[in-house]
Amino acid sequence: MSNPKSISRRFLRVLLWLVAIILILFALQVTVLAFPQIVLSQCEQVGTVAIYHDDASGTDISALATEVDLRLQANRFYESSRRDRVFLFHSQKLFEFYARLALVSPKVQGFNLSVFGNSYLNAARIVELSSNRSNTPKYSIWEGSLAHTIAHEVGHQYLIDQIGRSTWMRLPHWKQEGLPEYIASISLIRSDSLLSLYDRFGILNSDQAWDDTYEWDRIHYKAELMVEYLLEVKRYSIEDIIADTVLAEDVYSEMLDWYNTARPQI
């Protein structure tokens, strides 16, 4: 008959081994996520943006990094001392591996892990969108622009650095997504006289511009417009916007009044 103490010691050893294995696997997971440059050795840096990549398709990564940096410079959150790491995966399988490690859907265009200060981009998915979403309104995360999507994911990092991760996690979806969309788009919006905030609010409310396929696009589009209205028209600060008292339905209602009041006289 086995000694109860001997059984307990064996059970404890097995348990300790299991804990050790779990800790080792967790350490490996963290290491792989924190340092994707292990597999993405090529790097182009312009301004604050360093893009690591596995590109074999001839994409001009230097020009891409320049465009992203110009987009970022145009927003009020830009700091020249920043260093933002972007990992651009042209290999769909490699991106899916990292997405699953991060417990993120492998179908997304990209994601940001603020704990490491890294943004991970799915180049294949973004390029696919650019060919399949030709009717998506401009200045949308769904239009299939590498520069826009990279600036959007870096924009998440800007926001988290500004207000703290715990505060960011409590924000409603329209603030979490609207602010990065603003950061990604504002440089182009300001130079486009044909698509002012007024024009784009009209597009938002035109059913001809959207269908069921694009409903998620429309939600993101609306979020950016509301944030842009608060920042550019109302001159809110980031602290004003993230306040719990600033509600989506109130902002949209106020924008609707603004749109009707500002309507050009023909």
Q: Is the pLDDT of residue 10 over 90?
A: no
Q: What is the pLDDT of residue 234?
A: 95
Q: Evaluate whether residue 18 is within a structural domain.
A: no
Mean pLDDT (the chain, rounded):
90
The pLDDT > 70 percentage for the chain reads: 94
In Å, how far from its chain's centre is CA 86? Answer: 11
Which one has a higher pLDDT value, 201 or 262? 201
| pLDDT digits 0-9 by tens, 163-191 | 999 999 999 999 999 999 999 999 999 98
Q: Evaluate whether residue 99 is within a structural domain.
A: yes
Tally of domains within the chain: 1
Residue with tokens 């997971």: 29
**What is the C-alpha separation between 101 and 103, in angstroms, rounded?**
5
Quick one: CA dihedral 135, 232, 47, 87, positive or negative? negative
Q: Evaluate whether residue 74 is within a structural domain.
A: yes
Range of the domain at 101: 42-261
Q: How confident is the model at residue 6 (pLDDT cuts 50, 70, 90)?
A: confident
Q: Evaluate whether residue 134 is within a structural domain.
A: yes
Q: Is the pLDDT of residue 1 over 80?
A: no
Q: Is the pLDDT of residue 130 over 50?
A: yes
Q: Evaluate whether residue 8 is within a structural domain.
A: no
3-state secondary structure of 136: coil
Q: How confident is the model at residue 110 (pLDDT cuts 50, 70, 90)?
A: very high
CATH value at residue 141: 1.10.390
| pLDDT digits 0-9 by tens, 219-251 | 999 999 999 999 999 999 999 999 999 999 999
Intra-chain end-to-end CA distance of the chain, in Å: 98
Q: Is the pLDDT of residue 7 over 50?
A: yes
Q: What is the pLDDT of residue 266?
A: 44
The stretch 112-133 carries a mean pLDDT of 89
Q: Evaluate whether residue 173 is within a structural domain.
A: yes
Q: Evaluate whether residue 235 is within a structural domain.
A: yes
Q: Evaluate whether residue 175 is within a structural domain.
A: yes
